[in-house]
């Protein structure tokens, strides 16, 4: 698996982590290029189904990141999200989804270097775990290929 | 349950109630729901240990609501469902009278839902020993073993949605699985769609499921889908001190505490 390049999907909030990732770029910090960033208004808006869909579509790892507690632009979105993640993570673990492939973090708009670190650690971890064939094997199905056109 | 029959008859004769929801003898030694509208039909009502169907499923249905004020024969799980439905503004004292059935099979009439709430809070929602054993067994497996277990269990599911129909909390007029723009859950009976459907169902019932086992009883294939709900019930207990349905106040998933504890966020 020497040539395996992990596909990472990052669901980030507009106000903190997206700005933080922007700062990583403007500070010219180099980090792994395996990440596809998807911007959301708030972590409270990130639906658990989107995480599952990312795995369906072939993601090997997922990052979910937003404002630190008490820093939410909408006052409490990240608190609600935190509760949901605690429960959702338990459920994923229970049905046998590899929760080591999902990384949750708080990255503020001032933490450009933390973002680089989060991405780099995730990429290293996923590289060790290898492609998520377990899920992809289930997701790839002739009927589904037809319905998806 | 002579008491129940007598009371149902009285209520219908006095016209304070238009329909009494209870159980009647069905086919193959099973019981089914009965909607009594005429006092003379009240004699058909029965209650015994076979009556496990959650009757609260019917009180949100337009066809039943349209008949007028309802009375419902309610065991403890049914009462819990009623309180949760009242919290979600689906029923109220105006259209519902609860004819409670205690664990000793005695009739206990409640003046209003507040009394029902006080009564059910005397009983903790508890997972019985056989289910606990199954949960522990699954928790002891490795992640790959669990994945295999669930893929195997869920693969025969053909999405008949009997679990949804049996659940009093699944009252949405249009369920997320019925949407096709976007199509969240693949329609064909296939492992991925089945897995996603059951995950979605469990998440939507998070903090609302009162553990009546209606879904698993309704499943024609006997898939233990209620294990997902039970596990979430356990997790809610571990992380947030558990929950009981309440008429007013905070709901497990629509509230938060600034000091909610987790150990996985970097």
List domains and CATH numbers for chain A: 8-147 (3.40.50)
Q: Are residues B215 and B236 in the same domain?
A: yes
Does residue B199 belong to any structural domain of this protein? yes
**Count of structural domains, chain B:** 2
Does residue B141 belong to any structural domain of this protein? yes
Q: Are residues B161 and B203 in the same domain?
A: yes
Helix (H, G, I), strand (E, B) or coil at B75: coil
Q: Are residues B86 and B134 in the same domain?
A: no
Of the candidates B38, B72, B37, the one whose C-alpha atom is nearest the C-alpha of residue B57 is B72
Per the model's pLDDT, the better-predicted residue between B225 and B262 turns out to be B225
**B252: closest chain A residue by CA:** A83
Q: Are residues B6 and B115 in the same domain?
A: yes
State residue B182's pLDDT score.
82
Which residues in chain A have their CB less than 8 angstroms from residue B195's CB?
Answer: 95, 138
Query: How large is the average pLDDT for residues A20-38?
Result: 94
State residue A149's pLDDT score.
46
Average model confidence (pLDDT) for chain A? 91
Q: Which residues pair with A102 in a beta bridge?
A: A62
Distance in angstroms (rounded) separating the CA atoms of residues B236 and B245: 13
Q: Are residues B40 and B18 in the same domain?
A: yes
Domain holding B214, by residue range, is 129-240
Is there a cis peptide before residue B182, judged by omega within 30 degrees of 0? Answer: yes
Query: How large is the average pLDDT for residues B6-26?
Result: 94
Does residue B254 belong to any structural domain of this protein? no
Q: Are residues B136 and B116 in the same domain?
A: no
Q: Are residues B96 and B75 in the same domain?
A: yes
pLDDT tier at B98, thresholds 50, 70, 90: very high
Task: Report B:114-153 residues touching A (Cβ under 8 A).
Answer: 138-139, 143-151
Domain boundary (B97, B120, B143) is at B120
Q: Cβ of B240 and A89 within 8 Å? A: no
The answer to which of A88-102, A128-142, B8-22, B70-84 has the lowest mean pLDDT is A128-142
Tell me how far CA of residue B86 lies from CA of B74, B108, B113, B208, B224, in angstroms.
14, 19, 8, 12, 28
Q: Are residues B75 and B141 in the same domain?
A: no
B192 reaches A (C-beta below 8 A): yes
Which residues in chain A have their CB less than 8 angstroms from residue B138's CB?
Answer: 94
pLDDT tier at A1, thresholds 50, 70, 90: low
Q: What confidence tens digit (pLDDT) does each residue in B37-82 have?
A: 999 999 999 999 899 999 999 999 999 999 999 999 999 999 999 9
Distance in angstroms (rounded) separating the CA atoms of residues B22 and B71: 9
Distance in angstroms (rounded) separating the CA atoms of residues B126 and B248: 22
State residue B181's pLDDT score.
84
Does residue B162 belong to any structural domain of this protein? yes
Does residue B245 belong to any structural domain of this protein? no
Tell me how far CA of residue B222 lies from CA of A124, B162, B217, B218, in angstroms.
42, 11, 7, 8
Which residues in chain A have their CB less than 8 angstroms from residue B149's CB?
Answer: 96
Distance in angstroms (rounded) separating the CA atoms of residues A78 and A13: 9
Element (H, E) at B34: strand B31-36
Distance in angstroms (rounded) separating the CA atoms of residues A139 and A103: 21
* Closest Cα in chain A, distance from residue B73 (Å): 33
Q: Are residues B236 and B166 in the same domain?
A: yes
Please say if the pLDDT value at position A140 is more than 80: no
Distance in angstroms (rounded) separating the CA atoms of residues A143 and B245: 41
To the nearest whole percent, how much of chain B has pLDDT over 90?
A: 79
Contact in structure between A20 and A109 (CB atoms under 8 Å): yes
Tell me how far CA of residue A29 lies from CA of A17, A22, A26, B243, in angstroms.
15, 10, 8, 46
- Interface confidence, given as ipTM, is 0.90
Query: How large is the average pLDDT for residues A6-18?
Result: 95
DSSP structure class, residue B229: H
Distance in angstroms (rounded) separating the CA atoms of residues A115 and A126: 16
Q: Are residues B137 and B113 in the same domain?
A: no
Beta strands in chain A (DSSP E): 8-13, 35-40, 61-66, 102-106
pLDDT tier at A126, thresholds 50, 70, 90: very high
Q: Are residues B83 and B165 in the same domain?
A: no
Contact in structure between A30 and A58 (CB atoms under 8 Å): no
Q: What confidence tens digit (pLDDT) does each residue in B166-201 have?
A: 999 999 999 999 888 888 888 888 888 899 999 999
Domain boundary (B86, B103, B120) is at B120
Does residue B214 belong to any structural domain of this protein? yes
Give me the residue from A94, A105, A144 closest to B138, CB to CB. A94
Count the neighbouring beta carbons within 10 Å of the beta carbon of residue B37.
Answer: 13
**A71: closest chain B residue by CA:** B258
State residue A145's pLDDT score.
58
State residue B263's pLDDT score.
86
State residue A3's pLDDT score.
82
Contact in structure between A24 and A31 (CB atoms under 8 Å): yes
B236 reaches A (C-beta below 8 A): yes
Q: What confidence tens digit (pLDDT) does each residue in A55-74 have?
A: 998 899 999 999 999 999 99
Helix (H, G, I), strand (E, B) or coil at A86: helix
Q: Are residues B232 and B185 in the same domain?
A: yes
Q: Cβ of B264 and A104 within 8 Å? A: yes
Q: Cβ of A96 and B200 within 8 Å? A: no
* Closest Cα in chain A, distance from residue B83 (Å): 23
Structure tokens at B150: 């669930």
State residue A2's pLDDT score.
64
Give me the residue from A70, A96, A106 closest to B143, CB to CB. A96
Query: How large is the average pLDDT for residues B197-225?
Result: 94
Q: Cβ of A91 and B202 within 8 Å? A: yes
State residue A147's pLDDT score.
57
Contact in structure between B243 and B253 (CB atoms under 8 Å): no
Chain A with chain B: Cβ pairs closer than 8 A: 113
Does residue B261 belong to any structural domain of this protein? no
Does residue B257 belong to any structural domain of this protein? no
B266 reaches A (C-beta below 8 A): yes
């Amino acid at each position: 698996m020497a040539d395996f390049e992990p596909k990472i999907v990052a669901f980030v909030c507009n106000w903190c982590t997206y700005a933080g990732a922007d700062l990583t770029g403007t500070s010219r910090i180099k980090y792994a290029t395996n990440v596809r960033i998807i911007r959301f208004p708030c972590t409270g808006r990130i639906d658990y189904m989107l995480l599952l869909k990312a795995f369906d579509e072939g993601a090997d790892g997922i990052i979910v990141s937003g404002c630190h507690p008490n820093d939410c632009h909408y006052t409490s979105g990240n608190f609600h999200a935190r509760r949901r993640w605690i429960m959702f993570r338990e459920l994923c673990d229970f049905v046998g989804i590899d929760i080591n492939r999902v990384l949750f973090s708080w990255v503020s708009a001032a933490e450009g270097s933390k973002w680089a670190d989060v991405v780099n650690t995730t990429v290293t971890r996923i590289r060790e775990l290898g492609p998520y064939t377990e899920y992809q094997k289930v997701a790839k199905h002739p009927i589904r290929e037809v319905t998806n056109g | 349950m002579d008491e129940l029959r007598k009371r149902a008859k009285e209520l219908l004769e006095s016209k304070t109630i238009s329909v009494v929801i209870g159980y009647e003898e069905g086919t193959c030694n099973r019981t089914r729901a009965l909607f009594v509208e005429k006092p003379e039909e009240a004699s058909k009502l029965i209650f015994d240990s076979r009556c496990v169907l959650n009757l609260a499923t019917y009180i949100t249905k337009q066809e039943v609501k349209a008949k007028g004020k309802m009375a419902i024969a309610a065991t403890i799980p049914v009462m819990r469902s009623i309180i949760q439905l009242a919290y979600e503004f689906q029923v109220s004292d105006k259209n519902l009278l609860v004819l409670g059935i205690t664990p000793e099979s005695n009739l206990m009439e409640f003046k209003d839902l507040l009394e029902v709430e006080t009564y059910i809070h005397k009983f903790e929602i508890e997972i019985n020993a056989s289910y606990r054993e199954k949960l522990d067994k699954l928790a002891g497996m490795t992640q790959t073993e669990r994945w295999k277990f669930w893929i195997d269990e869920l693969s025969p599911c053909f999405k008949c949605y009997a679990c949804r129909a049996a659940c009093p909390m699944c009252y949405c007029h249009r369920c997320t699985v019925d949407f096709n723009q976007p199509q969240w859950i693949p329609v064909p009976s296939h492992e991925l769609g089945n897995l996603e459907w059951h995950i979605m169902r469990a998440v939507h019932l998070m903090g609302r499921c009162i553990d009546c086992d209606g879904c698993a009883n309704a499943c024609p294939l006997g898939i233990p889908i209620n294990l997902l709900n039970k596990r979430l019930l356990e997790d809610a207990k571990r992380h947030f001190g558990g929950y009981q349905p309440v008429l007013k106040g905070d709901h497990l998933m629509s509230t938060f505490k600034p000091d909610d504890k987790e150990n996985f966020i970097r």
